[in-house]
Every structure is written in structure tokens, then in C-alpha cells.
Homo-oligomer: A and B are copies of this chain.
Amino acid sequence: MARKINLNADMAEGYGAYDIGNDDGMLSVVQSANVACGFHAGDPNVMARVLRDAAEKGVSIGAHPGFNDLWGFGRRQIQMPLHEIENIMAYQIGALQGMASAAGTSVTHVKPHGALNNMASVDADLADAIARSVRAVDPSLILVAIAGTELDRAGHALGLPVASEVYADRTYADDGNLSSRKLPNAMINDPAHSVAQVMQMVKDGVVTTLGGKQMPVNAHTICVHGDEPTGVDVARAVTAALAEAGLEVVPLPDVPLG
């Protein structure tokens, strides 16, 4: 039986008259959508549109909650007590669940956005708060985390299903984190380069960092970015390469975790 793997992309990141990304294009090529929930991006109208289109195309739905900071697109660190973090998580996941119900679909995973995700990678208490909030809303929700982070640890500790995520179009720093967006080579926009990185991850279980280190990775799901003009091309090339290598790309709930 073919090994199963998933491609995910962040979506519904527009707001009112503002548009970012390429939701239509990405919905045609990935199998799972991380949907912004209105705090850092994603008003109810753009959320509804993505949910309806995702339902039609069999794309599975995840909540992509962030800090309450539309101006900063959720990329600014905000200091908040842990119980407030739990509250903004539950609120956003629930909002998407309500809209998903109205669209005849359901939410099956959660992936924090931006600064909230970055902070949860290294802050154990924050990671625990996020895992607690996901379990409190629905313990069957899959938590998406980078293997080896505090969020990954917290999800497993609370018994959540945890999907390990790797990036097709982001480079890695020697410390194992994604390289900073401020660096010129943070993004990989060449499909061939992305394919090479993904194939190395999937076949060899390692990624080559910017400093040349071979770092072990674990890949249940592969993230591609729709706000890059090259996003759809990268996703198509990676999908084709995975298929050629005998892997089956499926919605996240169909990937065996563990």
C-alpha cells in the first residue's frame, strides 16, 4: 500500500476589499486548507467562500487561529496571559466550526498562525495552553506542528493526534527553525528546488539547512504558501514528484499519524 502524505496551504487570508494569496488556485492543488479565522485575517465572507469551495473539492478544513491583530497580520508578538490564549483559540476554532457546519463540512485540524505559532514552538507554557484549548474544544482535532517543537511535545503530551509538518517553500536555519522571513533566501520560489527539498525530506527523512547541516525531519503534511506568485506551480511540481515516487497525496485526516 502506498505511503500517504498531505499538502496544506494557508487560505482565506483576505479581509473585506483586501485580497492576499490565491485561494482558487491553491484549492485546486492541495488537499487541506488552513483557514484564517478573523483575528489576524479572514472575515466571515472570505471564510465562507473558502469553506464552500473546499467542501466542493474534497479539501479538508483546518483552523488557522492567530493573535487579534489585523494590522500586524498576526506577525507581531503580543504578551497575553495563558488563559487568554486559550480563550482566543477556542473562539476562533469555534467560529470556523460554526461556519463549516453552515457550509455542510467540518473542521478536522488546527494550526496556529504567525507569531502565535512561532512563540508556541519555543515556549512550553504557551504550547501547553494551545494544546489544552484544542483538546477542550474537540479532542479529535489534529494539531499540526513541526516535529521537535514545544507545540509538538505539548500535543502529544495531551493525547491529541499530531501531524508533523514540513515546508516545501521555506528554507531551514541551522537551529532547526524556519529561517527568518527577513532573510532574502527565506522563501523557495523555484519549483525544482522545492521538489528537491521535499523529496529529500520524504525519502531520506532529512533537510539540508542553510548552513549545510543535515537535519532529521518527519513529514505527515507539507506546507506550501499561496501568497507567493509561484505557490501553485510549486504545489503542482511537488504533487507530481510525490506521485512519481509512489506516494499518495490525501486530505490530512487520511494520513496515518505516528
Contacts and interface: CB of A to CB of B under 8 A. Distances in A.
A79 B77 contact: yes
A76 B73 contact: no
B138 A84 contact: no
Given A15-B18, A17-B20, A96 B94 contact: yes
Contact of A16 (B70, B97, B101): B70
A78 B95 CA distance: 21
Task: Indicate how many identical chains form the complex.
Answer: 4
A43 B96 CA distance: 17
Contacts of A103: 136
A18 B92 CA distance: 21
Identify the interface centre among A38, A43, A100, A102: most chain B CB within 10 Å of its CB. Answer: A102
A176 interface: no
Contacts of A79: 76-77
Nearest to A63: B98
A99 interface: yes
Contacts of A83: 45, 48
Contacts of A133: 102
Contact of A102 (B38, B98, B101, B136): B136
Contacts of A136: 101-103
B137 A90 contact: no
Nearest to A74: B17
B98 A94 contact: yes
Interface string A3-23: 000000000001111111000
Contacts of A80: 72, 76
24 contacts: A14-B18, A15-B71, A16-B70, A16-B73, A18-B73, A44-B88, A45-B83, A45-B84, A45-B87, A48-B83, A68-B71, A76-B78, A76-B79, A76-B80, A77-B79, A93-B98, A94-B94, A94-B97, A94-B98, A95-B95, A97-B97, A101-B136, A101-B138, A102-B137
Given A17-B20, A91-B95, A95-B95, 10 more contacts: A15-B15, A18-B18, A48-B83, A76-B78, A86-B102, A91-B99, A94-B94, A94-B98, A98-B98, A102-B133
- 10 A-B pairs with the lowest CB-CB distances in the bound complex, closest first: A94-B98, A18-B18, A102-B136, A44-B87, A17-B73, A95-B95, A90-B102, A44-B91, A16-B71, A90-B99
